Amino acid sequence: MKSTQEQVLSKIYGNGNGYAFSSMDFIRDFPRDNIDKALSELVQKGKIRRVARGIYDYPKYSKLLQQNLSPDMEKIAHAYARKFNWQIEVSGDTALNILGLSTQIVGKYIYLSNGPNREYIIQDNIVLAFKKSALKNIGFKYKESSLIVQALRSLGKEHITDTVITKIRSQIDEKMFGKILTDTKTSTDWIYETIKEICKET
């Protein structure tokens, strides 16, 4: 029979590189003390990485740079959301950064939340902030949908160009196009028309 550590690692690997999580992601399957011990030992073995207090990730490795890449802040934010049972939504400025539409150096990622105002320091001294807010786009099933809608809304209709559409398109897995089109069909007309251009089959 596999140990708790082996079973936890198997679940982590099953979510792929970049996956971020807390002990709460395994609480249904294992006793809390066993989980904490397993995660601590996996960190010591270099199998996973502790990126903040109580938050870990299975880092992506760059063969080119010969090192682990920085944490995926979108996945870190969702790990916190699952941990505290919050609903969250990416802010417009942060969506622009994630999709590569902003030239600003990112030192702070902001998410809207139905929880309290909180800030966390993530590895490399990046600030992850949650701001209590009325969530308008929480009905989206996929994080990609929220990212695109928030980015487009932040830019404004008058700033949507072919370059913007191409840039967003390059950041989204083509396998998600159909799902995003279904997921965002209740969006504002001009936003949905833009999404149709982004997700157009080639």
| pTM for the model | 0.85
Q: Mark whether 136 and 183 lie in a shared domain.
A: yes
Q: Mark whether 39 and 109 lie in a shared domain.
A: no
CATH number at 17 reads 1.10.10
- At residue 36, the pLDDT reads 95
Q: Mark whether 138 and 60 lie in a shared domain.
A: no
**How many domains, the chain?**
2
Q: Mark whether 102 and 180 lie in a shared domain.
A: yes
Is there a domain that residue 177 lies in?
A: yes
Q: Mark whether 64 and 13 lie in a shared domain.
A: yes
Is there a domain that residue 62 lies in?
A: yes
Maximum separation of any 2 CA atoms in the chain, in Å:
60
Q: Mark whether 96 and 187 lie in a shared domain.
A: yes
Q: Mark whether 91 and 190 lie in a shared domain.
A: yes
Q: Mark whether 95 and 194 lie in a shared domain.
A: yes
Q: Mark whether 92 and 173 lie in a shared domain.
A: yes
Give the Å distances, CA to CA, from 106 to 34, 39, 127, 128, 170: 36, 29, 9, 11, 20
**Beta-bridge mates of residue 55:** 52
159-181 average pLDDT score: 94
Q: Mark whether 105 and 40 lie in a shared domain.
A: no
Is 61 a residue whose pLDDT tops 90?
A: no
**Beta-bridge mates of residue 127:** 108, 121
CB 171 within 8 A of CB 150: no
Tens digit of each residue's pLDDT (9 = 90 or more) over 83-97: 999 999 999 999 998
CA angle 141, 101, 50 (to 5 degrees): 65
Q: Mark whether 116 and 178 lie in a shared domain.
A: yes
- At residue 123, the pLDDT reads 87
Q: Mark whether 98 and 139 lie in a shared domain.
A: yes
Domain with 194, as residue range(s), is 87-198
CA-based nearest residue to 102, from 120, 90, 114? 90
pLDDT interval class at 65 (50, 70, 90): confident
Is there a domain that residue 8 lies in?
A: yes
CB 26 within 8 A of CB 82: no
Is 107 a residue whose pLDDT tops 70?
A: yes
Instruction: Provide the mean pLDDT of the chain.
Output: 92
